[in-house]
Amino acid sequence: MIRKITITSENDIRITLNAIRMLTRSLHFSEVDTQKLIVAVSELSRNIIDHAGSNGFVYFEEIENKGIKVIVQDFGKGIKKIDEILQGQTNFQKKGLGMGLVGAKRLMDDFSVETSKEGTRIIAVKWRTIPYKQR
């Protein structure tokens, strides 16, 4: 399943989170991993509204029935001091849960940010945790 949702409002964030929840269920993600993914995507998509003038999208897809790849792309003016932000030295929070990029990075298994004057692209992956089987 591949899905792309344009983010222009709060409602688009809700639609995105519902779609991701459905995908995590179909892939048998644990509730903990589902919540981590939902919080991270909520924060990242909120950034599109707060920092990029509601001009961007969230794209996500299943990775071989083992994980979910999320791409968050905005067309804002880029992120200044990205290294300081990712190290937790700077906070530009306006709304959301207050976790921002640093929190989203901690919740995901793989995380990268590309930013320029033309916008920001975040690629994040959450792998499904295989539960321990009792013998």
Name the strand (E) or helix (H) holding 23. helix 10-26
Measured torsion, CA atoms of residues 5, 9, 15, 19, in degrees rounded to the nearest 10: 40
Q: What is the distance between the alpha carbons of residues 124 and 104, in angstroms, rounded to a whole number? A: 9
Predicted pLDDT of residue 54: 94
Domain boundaries, the chain: 2-127
Range 112-134 average pLDDT: 88
Predicted pLDDT of residue 34: 97
Tokens 């083992």 -> residue: 66
Predicted pLDDT of residue 89: 66
Domain 2-127 has CATH 3.30.565.10: yes
For 8-55, the pLDDT digits (tens) are 999 999 999 999 999 999 999 999 999 999 999 999 999 999 999 999
Handedness of CA 23, 73, 101, 45 (dihedral sign): negative
